[in-house]
Structure 1
Amino acid sequence: MTKTQFFIYFIIFLVIDNSFGQTLKITGYDDQTRRKYIANYTDNYLNGQYYEYVGKKKVLEGYFSKGFKSGTWLYYHDNGKLAIEVNYDENELNGIAKEFDSKGRIRAKISYKDNQRHGTCFIYSPKKDELYLTINYNKGELEGEVIENDERSKTIINYSKNKRNGAGGFIDANGDFNKITEYQDGKVVDDYIVYNLSLKPKEKYLINPRGEFYKKIIYEGEQIVEEVLLGNIDTSFMYSKYMWEEEKVKFLLFYVENGESNILAPIYYSE
């Protein structure tokens, strides 16, 4: 729906505002989304409270200030429970954005500044009401530790300017750090250890001076049972196979793309 089409279905109610001129209370319906819109329109701008409904169910509410999304915006699940709470400052995400599941349990807390992820963010397990990921951002880029929690260990990967840097590994139940490998500018630069479910070494990939894996060592218990020459494999093979990738957080309902925030459904603006 274009900006012009947005107003085709409106029934307009005129209210006189002595301070700013005429304010239009607008009700409209979009055949494609099957949503009813209620908005206020003042001096050629969307201005004031804004609502969307599917049938009698409210699916979102927010506030416009002179055409810009401003303050707290709320998005709802089909059952009426809060799905997302975000804060805007002149159309840009700022502050803590929260996502909840349909039962009202917290699923994510994402920190924004000037429409970019900034600061410490938290992702919670979809099956248990427990912290799953802690992620640090600086102006939209991964910076610092990314920590993944599971029942057996705590995996830690360090980032600098959106690339993995430094030692990566996990902390076991005894509080000991177990190194998996070393990264530099996003690339593996050290031997790479793969652990089994008991957090014991299962395989070890040895790296040569050219940054390629040339040998795989296979363990059974604590014993080496086989050594296999690999023929110099690029280390990017291990980069994506065994460790945490940011794609895991794509289940979030809110995201930023091309500098514009997109949440559940687009918001249409007037000229």
Structure 2
Amino acid sequence: MKKIQLLSIITIITVLLISCGPKREVKEVFHPGTDVISEKYEFFTDEDGNEVKDGFYEFYDDKGNVVSEGQYKKGLRTGKWVKYHENRKIRNTAEFKNDSLHGEYEAFYNTGELKTLISYENGRREGQYYSYFKNGKVQSEVVYHDGKREGLQKNYSEDGVLVEEKEYKNGVPNGIYNKYYIGGELHEQGFFKLSKPDSIWHTYNKEGILTGTTTYSQK
């Protein structure tokens, strides 16, 4: 009996706390001079009389189609947000935390194929980045750390052939550089130092014969 009474008291307190919280309302905004909705969202009014978005949010184009949608928490974007192409296929999906990109981000072609894949931490790119051709083949891959490219970036042809390698450090080209013919043969080889060509660069024909050298020096 005491247990039931205790549960009843807890339930009453919870209801009272919820009812004492800010009252959420739904607002609709229209494109100027029309009756076509441009925004629809939940909000509450704070102690200073300011409107604070809290809950679902939808943004519409001038034809009434949803362009983007997601959630707000006390005025900050949170959770999964989705944007759409004009044909209603998904343009991109992104995870937010405290109004900053945080989590997986995916972008898509307007025909539905995956275009870009990357993760974010507190608004900065972090980890492996991939971009794709429409046929699903990898177009480019590189690692990001603290929002900057780090290590070897590889670029490919639509057939999946490696066509370029460029090393990055702290977000700028720094290290080896290789460029390849579409058949995979080495075309050009050199080095970068702080984003500028450095040292001796070699050029080759498709048979692998050296056809030229260029020397760079940084003063």
- TM-score normalized by the length of structure 2: 0.76
Q: Tell me what 1:268 maps to.
A: none
**Equivalent residue pairs, number:** 193
Comparing 60-69 and 138-147, the one that deviates more: 138-147
1:111 aligns with 2:112: no
Is the 1:20–1:42 Cα contact (8 Å) retained in structure 2? no
1:169 aligns with 2:183: no
1:37 aligns with 2:39: yes
* Aligned match for 2:166, one of 135, 141, 157: 157
1:143 aligns with 2:143: no
Is the 1:167–1:179 Cα contact (8 Å) retained in structure 2? no
Is the 1:191–1:204 Cα contact (8 Å) retained in structure 2? no
In structure 1, how many angstroms separate the alpha carbons of the residues matched to 2:60 and 2:149?
A: 37
Is the 1:122–1:132 Cα contact (8 Å) retained in structure 2? yes
Is the 2:188–2:204 Cα contact (8 Å) retained in structure 1? no
Q: Tell me what 2:3 maps to.
A: none
Q: Tell me the CA shift for residue 38 of structure 1.
A: 0.8
In structure 2, how many angstroms separate the alpha carbons of the residues matched to 1:170 and 1:94?
A: 34
> One-letter code of the match for 1:50?
Y
Superposed CA deviations along residues 154-193 of structure 1, whole A, max 9, x for unmatched, are: 4211111112222211578998877610222222222223
Matches within 5 A, 1:1-271: 18-31=19-32, 36-44=38-46, 45-54=52-61, 55-126=63-134, 128-150=135-157, 151=159, 152-170=161-179, 180-194=189-203, 198=206, 200=208, 203-207=211-215, 210-211=217-218
Unaligned stretches of 5+ residues in structure 1: 1-16, 213-271
Which runs of at least 4 in structure 1 moved beyond 4 Å after TM superposition? 32-35, 170-179, 198-203
In structure 2, how many angstroms separate the alpha carbons of the residues matched to 1:98 and 1:53?
A: 21
Instruction: For CA contacts below 8 A with separation 6 or more, give which structure has more relative contact order.
Output: 1
- Structure 1 residues 66 and 32 mapped into 2: Cα distance closer, same or farther (>3 Å)? farther
Q: Tell me the CA shift for residue 31 of structure 1.
A: 2.4
Superposed CA deviations along residues 9-50 of structure 1, whole A, max 9, x for unmatched, are: xxxxxxxx7251321110111329975211001243200001
Q: Tell me the CA shift for residue 110 of structure 1.
A: 2.2
Is the 1:81–1:103 Cα contact (8 Å) retained in structure 2? yes
- Structure 1 residues 195 and 64 mapped into 2: Cα distance closer, same or farther (>3 Å)? farther
In structure 2, how many angstroms separate the alpha carbons of the residues matched to 1:46 and 1:211?
A: 53
- Structure 1 residues 53 and 201 mapped into 2: Cα distance closer, same or farther (>3 Å)? farther
Aligned-residue CA RMSD in angstroms?
3.0
Q: Identity of counterpart residues, as a percentage?
A: 19
- Structure 1 residues 189 and 129 mapped into 2: Cα distance closer, same or farther (>3 Å)? same
In structure 1, how many angstroms separate the alpha carbons of the residues matched to 2:41 and 2:181?
A: 54
> One-letter code of the match for 2:26?
K
Secondary structure of the corresponding residue to residue 18 of structure 1: helix
Q: Tell me what 1:234 maps to.
A: none
In structure 2, how many angstroms separate the alpha carbons of the residues matched to 1:174 and 1:106?
A: 26
Unaligned stretches of 5+ residues in structure 2: 1-17, 47-51
- Structure 1 residues 154 and 39 mapped into 2: Cα distance closer, same or farther (>3 Å)? same
- TM-score normalized by the length of structure 1: 0.62
